[in-house]
Amino acid sequence: MSRLFSRSNGVSEKRLNILIIDDNEQITKMISSFLDMSNHECTVVNEGKEGLESIKTKQYDSIILDLAMPEYDGYKILETLKTEDPTQLPKIIILTASNIPLDTVRRFKELGIASCLQKPVDIDQLLTKIKAVAG
Amino acid sequence: MTMEEALIENLVLGNDHKESMKKINENLIEYGLTPNQSKVYLYLTKTGEKTASGISKNLNIPRTESYHLLNSLEQKGIIFSIFGKPTKFNAVPIEDALTIIIDNEKKRVLDLELKKEKIMTLWETVPKYVGESENVDGNKFQILQGKNSILVKIERMAKTAKEEVLVLGSDSNFIKFYHTEFVNLLKKTKAELQVLTTYSKKGQFALDGLPLNNIKKLDESNRHNFSFIIKDNQEVVFFINSGSPELMAIWTDSKSFVTTLKSLFKLIWRKSPYVLEKENKFTQNMSEDYEHRLREIEQEKVILDYLSQNLVKKEAKNE
Among B221, B244, B226, B223, residue whose Cα is nearest residue B236: B226
| pLDDT (0 to 100) of residue A95 | 93
Q: In what order do the strands lie in the sheet with B248-252?
A: B141-145, B248-252, B235-240, B228-231, B164-169, B192-197, B215-217
> Are B88 and B150 contained in the same domain?
no
What is the pTM (predicted TM-score) of this model? 0.46
> Are B146 and B264 contained in the same domain?
yes
Which top CATH class is A17-134? alpha beta
Q: Is residue B157 part of a domain?
A: yes
Cβ neighbours of A118 in B, within 8 Å = 295
The DSSP element (H or E) to which B58 belongs, if any, is: helix B52-59
- Non-local CB neighbours of B50 within 8 Å, separated by 6+ positions: B43, B44, B58, B88, B89, B90
| pLDDT (0 to 100) of residue A6 | 47
What are A48-71's pLDDT values in tens digits?
A: 999 999 999 999 999 999 998 888
How close B273 comes to chain A (CA, Å)? 26
| pLDDT (0 to 100) of residue B303 | 87
How close A88 comes to chain B (CA, Å)? 30
What are B47-82's pLDDT values in tens digits?
A: 999 999 999 999 999 999 999 999 999 988 999 988
**pLDDT band, residue A5 (cuts 50/70/90):** very low
The answer to whether B165 touches B191, Cβ cutoff 8 Å, is yes
Task: State how far the Cα of B26 lies from the Cα of B20, in Å rounded to an integer.
Answer: 10
Q: Which of B295, B302, B310 sits opposite A122 (nearest CB)?
A: B302
> Are B157 and B219 contained in the same domain?
yes
Note whether B285 contacts A: Cβ–Cβ < 8 A: no
Cβ neighbours of A30 in B, within 8 Å = 300, 303-304, 307
**A30 contacts B307? CB cut-off 8 A:** yes
Residues of A with CB under 8 A from a CB of B: 1, 4-5, 24, 26-27, 30-31, 33-34, 37, 68, 97-99, 118-124
Strand B141-145 to strand B88-91: parallel, antiparallel, or no bridges (unpaired)? unpaired
> Are B147 and B254 contained in the same domain?
yes
Note whether B17 contacts A: Cβ–Cβ < 8 A: no
**A5 contacts B293? CB cut-off 8 A:** no
Q: Is residue B215 part of a domain?
A: yes
For an interface test with A, which of B287, B289, B302, B313 has the most A Cβ atoms less than 10 Å from its Cβ? B302
Residues in chain B where the model's pLDDT stays below 50: 1, 3, 7, 11-12
> Are B90 and B183 contained in the same domain?
no
Q: Which of B292, B302, B306 sits opposite A97 (nearest CB)?
A: B292
Hey, what long-range contacts does A57-61 have (CB within 8 A, 24 or more apart)?
A58/A19, A59/A17, A59/A90, A60/A17, A60/A18, A60/A19, A60/A90, A60/A91, A61/A16, A61/A17, A61/A18, A61/A91, A61/A130, A61/A133, A61/A134
Note whether B301 contacts A: Cβ–Cβ < 8 A: yes
| pLDDT (0 to 100) of residue A1 | 39
**A120 contacts B299? CB cut-off 8 A:** yes
What average pLDDT does this structure show over A84-91? 82
| pLDDT (0 to 100) of residue B279 | 56
Residues present in chain B in total? 319
Q: Where exactly are the structural domains of chain A?
A: 17-134
Q: Which residues constitute the domain of residue B39?
A: 3-96
Note whether B299 contacts A: Cβ–Cβ < 8 A: yes
> Are B149 and B72 contained in the same domain?
no
End-to-end CA distance of chain A: 25
Cβ neighbours of A36 in B, within 8 Å = none
Q: What is the mean pLDDT of chain A?
A: 85
Among B80, B77, B69, residue whose Cα is nearest residue B98: B77
CATH of the domain at B61: 1.10.10.10
Cβ neighbours of B310 in A, within 8 Å = 4-5, 37
Given a cut of 50, whether residue A4 has pLDDT beyond it is no
| pLDDT (0 to 100) of residue A46 | 94
> Are B9 and B87 contained in the same domain?
yes
| pLDDT (0 to 100) of residue B4 | 52
Q: Which of B292, B302, B310 sits opposite A120 (nearest CB)?
A: B302
The answer to whether A109 touches A79, Cβ cutoff 8 Å, is no
For an interface test with A, which of B303, B308, B313 has the most A Cβ atoms less than 10 Å from its Cβ? B303
CA distances from A117 to A54, A67, A94, A126 (A): 22, 11, 6, 9
> Are B25 and B84 contained in the same domain?
yes
Final residue in a domain of this structure, among B67, B96, B125: B96
The DSSP element (H or E) to which B235 belongs, if any, is: strand B235-240
Note whether B312 contacts A: Cβ–Cβ < 8 A: no
> Are B91 and B145 contained in the same domain?
no
Number of domains in chain B: 2
What are A90-117's pLDDT values in tens digits?
A: 899 999 998 888 878 888 888 888 889 9
CATH of the domain at B255: 3.30.870.10
| pLDDT (0 to 100) of residue B80 | 92
